Structure 1
Amino acid sequence: MTTFRKFTLAALAAPLTLGLAACGSTDADGEGATSGEPIAPIAAPEGTSWTDVVTVSESDGYIIGNPDAPIKLMEYASLTCPACAAFAMSAVPELKTEYVSTGRVSYEMRNQIHGPHDLALATLVRCGTDASFHPLSDQVFANQQAVLNPIFQNAEAVEQSLTLPENQRLIRLAEIGGFIDFFAARGLSGDQARTCLADVEAYKTIAENSNTQSQELGVSGTPTFFINGRKIDGNSWAQIEPLLQQAGAR
């Protein structure tokens, strides 16, 4: 689990402390999810599957599944967080096939930003269509160590990139990290990537949402999960699945 330290936009112009993500506590409130009666499956629109439906929430999270699902699972995740990667690889496939597919549960992921390299990655996974957000995030999680190694191995160059004009900083950082080539191999062209990384207003919004929402909701680390708006005391699938069932997904 990665502990969150407030990411300020000034950090884009300051030296970057580079290191592998540390483990910490989310300070979850432990209230869990409210018990509910079993909920019947809800059919997807004809010819579709809920696991293929993606919508963007008002909080700039990306929702898989029925946007009106009675049980809403939401995760704050960092693309640089090993525990988030483990959940994405081990738990999300079952979450989608067993729960999201029924229309009873939706799954929303919001980015908590843990540094400029994380901000560049969060910008890039948003750079394609709404539907590509989760697959691209999963690709980062599946290759997380390889994606991050060039950043940690080139700390001085990364710090120098943060002194460039705002519309050049993330582009240069992504070039150092090999992010542009990584995403190009997964369908996002270099031109698309550079255009998104140069969009200062867009990437500042991602960072500001991370800070504001983390403060408002008491999210101190990743991954942190909420069910129907309530922060839960647990961050593993073994802890979360029973709470979904308790809430009616059974």
Structure 2
Amino acid sequence: MPRLLSRRNLLSSLAAIPAVALLAACSDSGEKAAAEDVKPAAPADAMKPADPAKPAAAAAAKAPEAEGTVDMAALLKPGALPDMQLGKDDAKVTIVEYASMTCPHCAHFHATTLPALKTKYIDTGKARLILREFPFDPSAEAGFMLARCSKDNYFPMVDVLFKQQANWAGVANTKDALLQISKMAGFTQESFEACLTDQKLLDDVRSVQKRGADEFKVDSTPTFFINGKTYKGALSIEEISAIIDPLL
């Protein structure tokens, strides 16, 4: 199994590509370096996504063991970007998810677990979900930037990008694929390019990622902090229910 890089090596592996270069990094430019940059992190020399959780039978669901704890007050302090949240501030359970837009396990969680989590806990006021950016590569950075530029449509844009992940992440021309998806979400060519050349936004997305690695030891995605306890991998609804129910 590919090993995880140290946090220092992980951060140094995210090349300091300026925002104006994201468009080139996401295009089929013919340059080998750019083509390599846009591939989802999977090789042994790059940080890998966490292994997906094994399916659990609903009747015998057991809460997975936590892999550590964090200080919730520190975790919830404001960062470089405003937190994007589903649910009410006064929910008894707070879930903070660090995800990458090019991570297949994150896409799996958002497709299979999040809808049930939303119906059962978020929409009923029992839990809230805060999603934080932890991009692996320029493609993931671009995806999160477009979601941020969607403003009030952040979560719908994230949902679309996860559902369409196979159609834009790691394809020959990621730029054009993202542009077509973005146009369906209301972007124009001009607003699309303005978003992906916003250097401050790129710096802020990277700051969120760096803080997650430095302060909370995030080294794979998805990583969840549920009322201060750390869980890694794409939790099933049965597993996450087994974690949440005793907290209510």
TM-score (norm 1): 0.71
Q: Does 1:110 align with 2:116?
A: no
**Which residue, 92, 102, 121 being the options, matches 1:80?**
102
Q: Does 1:243 align with 2:246?
A: no
In structure 2, list runs of 5 or more residues that go unmatched.
26-32, 43-47, 52-64, 71-75
Alignment partner of 2:135: what SS? coil
- 1:73-152 aligned at under 5 Å gives the runs 73-130=95-152, 132-150=153-171
2:16 corresponds to which residue?
Answer: 10
Paired residues of 1:78 and 1:84 also in contact (CA < 8 A): yes
Paired residues of 1:84 and 1:223 also in contact (CA < 8 A): yes
Alignment partner of 1:73: what SS? strand
2:55 corresponds to which residue?
Answer: none
In the TM superposition, structure 1's runs of 4+ consecutive aligned residues that sit over 3 Å from their partners are 11-21, 23-26
Deviates more, 1:66-75 or 1:5-14: 5-14
Paired residues of 1:11 and 1:115 also in contact (CA < 8 A): no
Rounded Cα–Cα distance in structure 2 between residues aligned with 1:84 and 1:57:
24
CA separation of 1:11 and 1:187: change in aligned 2, threshold 3 A = closer
Deviations 1:100-148 (A, max 9, x none): 0111200111110111111111100111223x11111111111111112
Rounded Cα–Cα distance in structure 1 between residues aligned with 2:188 and 2:129:
28
CA shift at 1:67, angstroms?
Answer: 1.8
Alignment partner of 1:30: what SS? coil
Q: How many residues align?
A: 201
CA separation of 1:178 and 1:24: change in aligned 2, threshold 3 A = closer
Deviations 1:180-213 (A, max 9, x none): 2211112223222222212111111111221122
Rounded Cα–Cα distance in structure 2 between residues aligned with 1:24 and 1:195:
30
Alignment partner of 2:94: what SS? strand
Rounded Cα–Cα distance in structure 1 between residues aligned with 2:103 and 2:240:
18
- 1:182-197 aligned at under 5 Å gives the runs 182-197=181-196
Rounded Cα–Cα distance in structure 2 between residues aligned with 1:216 and 1:193:
32
Rounded Cα–Cα distance in structure 2 between residues aligned with 1:200 and 1:213:
20
Paired residues of 1:31 and 1:233 also in contact (CA < 8 A): no
CA shift at 1:82, angstroms?
Answer: 0.3
TM-score (norm 2): 0.71
RMSD: 2.9
Deviations 1:37-67 (A, max 9, x none): xxxxxxxxxxxxxxxxxxx982333101102
* Amino acid across the alignment from 1:90: T
